[in-house]
Chain A
Amino acid sequence: MMTDMRVKIAGVELKNPVMTASGTFGSGEEYSEFVDLNRLGAVVTKGVANVPWPGNATPRVAETYGGMMNAIGLQNPGIDVFCKRDIPFLQKYDTKIIVNVCGHAPEEYLAVVERLAEEKIDMMEINISCPNVNAGFLAFGQDPKHVEELTAEIKKIAKQPVIMKLTPNVTDIAEIARAAEAGGADAVSLINTLTGMKIDVNRRTFALANKTGGVSGPAVHPVAVRMVYQVANAVKIPVIGMGGVATAEDALEFILAGATGVAVGTANFVNPTATLDVIDGIQAYMEKYGVKDIHELIGAVK
Chain B
Amino acid sequence: MAKFKECAKVVSQEKIGTGIFSMWLQTEQVAGEAKPGQFINLYCQDGSRLLPRPISICEVNKEAKQLRIVYRVAGKGTSEFSAYSEGEQVEILGPLGNGFPLDRMEEGKKAFLIGGGIGIPPMLELSRELKGEKQIILGYRDELFLNEELAENGTVYLATEDGSAGTKGNVLDAIRAEGLTADVIYACGPTPMLRALKAYAEENGIECWLSLEERMACGVGACLGCVCKSKEVDSHSHVHNKRVCKDGPVFLSTEVEL
Q: Chain A: residues with CB nearer than 8 A to chain B?
A: 23-26, 30-31, 33-34, 46, 52-55, 58-63, 65-68, 70, 72, 75-78, 81, 217-218, 266, 268-273
Contacts and interface: CB of A to CB of B under 8 A. Distances in A.
A54 B230 CA distance: 12
B238 A31 contact: no
B50 A218 contact: yes
8 contacts: A25-B222, A31-B222, A60-B225, A70-B223, A75-B241, A77-B237, A81-B238, A268-B222
Contact of B215 (A60, A66, A75, A76): A60
Interface string B143-160: 000000000000000000
Interface string B25-62: 00000000000000000010001111110000000000
A197 to B, nearest CB: 16
Given A78-B238, A269-B52, A66 B223 contact: no
Main secondary structure of the interface of B (DSSP, over half): loop
Contacts of A24: 218, 222-223
Interface of B: 2-3, 5, 43, 47-52, 77, 93, 214-228, 236-241, 246
Contacts, number: 109
Contacts of B50: 63, 66-68, 217-218, 266, 269-270
Given A24-B222, A72-B225, A270-B50, A58 B239 contact: no
A61 B50 CA distance: 12
A33 B222 CA distance: 12
Nearest to A70: B225
B224 to A, nearest CB: 5
A52 B220 contact: no
A78 B49 CA distance: 33
Contacts of B43: 270
Given A33-B2, A61-B215, A67-B50, A269 B223 contact: yes
Contact of A54 (B5, B228, B240): B240
